[in-house]
Copies of this chain bind each other. A is one copy, B any other.
Amino acid sequence: MIGALLCIGHELIYGRIVNENAKLAGEVLSAYGFKLGEVVVVPDEILLIVKALRRLVDEYEFLIVSGGLGPTDDDLTVAAVSQAFSLELEENREVLLALLKAKDYVQSFDLAKRLALLPKGSVSLSPDLTMAGFKLTLKGKPIFFLPGVPSQFESLLKNKVLPELLNLWPEAKGEEIVILRFFDLNETDLNTFLRNFLSDVAKEELKKNVELGFYPEDPEVKLILHGKKEAIREVKKGLQERFRFQYIGEGDKSLPIVLGELLTERGKKIATAESCTGGKLASLITSVPGSSNYFDRGFVVYSEKSKVEILGVSEETIKRYSVYSHETALEMAEKTLAKSKADFSLATTGIAGPTGETDDLPVGTIFIALGTKTKAISVRFKFTGKRSFIQKIASYTALDMLRRYLIYGEGLSCYRFALEFKERSF
């Protein structure tokens, strides 16, 4: 099952953007046992696209094409396919009707007609037609045409292309695929564990029957197990035992969703007070549909003054311990509970960078506190990376602290990036 990826676009060939789609396709396909023999990038020029299409369809077992499906003049993919394989274009009525329903095309019948003109034999990949994307079978080989916009490329690749490929190659189909999600886990640690676990002589059989793919989805890590059901079950058990705190769950549920389900199950509410994460934490919580069931307010107390005026943190605490301290974080968590009547609170304060560091407090120093009815717990972290990554990992860590607390009632002091820990009972 060796295929190729063809990426079309001036923006790629002129280096205006990095090729995220190529990285994603490589990652996702190899995790499922499919291999890319070649990734080819060509500009928006019809002759170069035609040449690449002909060659890749000849040489590989499947082909994924990215880009050039939009309505503008430099979108040439459909015309190139038609020319490369002498395929007439015909109006896809289903696509046309859907386009005409969409507001954007109501006043632009010609444009809709142009977008609905697809090579003969095309099947739409987006049944609700919210995206471009179609499939053709040429010389008995599946050819997938996906939009170049990364979010759309990813969605169709994972939800349409991958299932079709798995369906076409039954040797892959008879097997099982399980996705396990972890947080606060180094790929290296995971890999070391697996190597040791699988090198055991008694597990020789296991090793042959399961393939592993790593898929970092910052800041989470996905591990894709692919192979025989029994083998997968055993490896999964080993992982869950070894990485009890880090294991978030199975499937595509990310941390904000997992935490949301836990809070909903238990009928508990949460409130937030953010300094350095600046709204990111609340934004992650409210990204989940139905989050109004467990989240009703948050405070973005970015300046010192706002911490005092809005939350009522004492100026004395800030002056004595600094605004970046366990004491300030604990008080933020405590006051947030009072200001919200929530069952739990999460508070963040620290230095996301790139400026603002002191001798004692380097960039990446973040205090995260969890408040409950009876106590508050603050953990000091030292994260590394760019501002946006530090804000993101700090927000995810805050969510995960509450997850660990709800499930285990412990484990808050043993994060990879945790330095120290302080608790205060009310």
Contacts and interface: CB of A to CB of B under 8 A. Distances in A.
Contacts of A16: 23, 26-27, 177, 179, 213, 215, 222, 224
Nearest to A45: B37
Contacts of A277: 283, 286
B37 A48 contact: yes
A37 B40 CA distance: 10
A174 B342 CA distance: 62
A17 interface: yes
B14 A26 contact: yes
Interface stretch (A132-140, A163-171, A288-296, A373-381): A288-296
A196 interface: no
A289 B177 CA distance: 42
B300 A14 contact: no
Interface stretch (A68-76, A228-236, A242-250, A404-412): A68-76
Contacts of A43: 35-37
A40 B181 CA distance: 28
Given A17-B23, A300-B279, A355 B287 contact: no
A41 B39 contact: yes
Interface residues of A, number: 102
B286 A292 contact: no
A204 interface: no
A7 B19 CA distance: 13
A108 B299 CA distance: 41
Interface centre among A179, A214, A224, A299 (most CB of B within 10 A): A214
Interface string A36-73: 11111111100010001000000000000000001111
B279 A298 contact: yes
Nearest to A213: B10
A306 B296 contact: yes
B19 A22 contact: yes
Interface string A1-20: 00000000111111111111
A387 B287 contact: yes
Contacts of A299: 297-300, 310
A39 B23 contact: no
Contacts of A287: 278, 280, 387-388, 391
Contacts of A316: none
Interface string A268-284: 00001010011111111
B13 A39 contact: yes
Nearest to A297: B306
A70 B216 CA distance: 11
A194 to B, nearest CB: 8
Contacts of A222: 16
A195 interface: yes
Interface centre among A222, A280, A283, A284 (most CB of B within 10 A): A283
Given A15-B24, A16-B224, A72 B10 contact: no
28 contacts: A10-B224, A11-B224, A12-B26, A13-B30, A14-B226, A15-B28, A15-B29, A16-B23, A16-B27, A18-B18, A39-B42, A70-B187, A71-B187, A72-B214, A104-B188, A272-B279, A272-B300, A274-B282, A278-B283, A278-B287, A278-B295, A279-B283, A279-B285, A283-B391, A286-B391, A287-B388, A296-B303, A297-B300
Interface of A: 9-20, 22-30, 35-44, 48, 52, 70-74, 102-104, 108, 111, 149, 151, 177, 179, 186-188, 190-191, 195, 211-216, 218, 222, 224, 226, 272, 274, 277-287, 289-292, 295-303, 305-306, 309-310, 339-340, 353-355, 384, 387-388, 391
Q: Which 10 A-B pairs have the closest CB atoms?
A: A278-B286, A15-B26, A279-B282, A15-B27, A298-B300, A296-B303, A279-B283, A297-B306, A39-B41, A279-B279
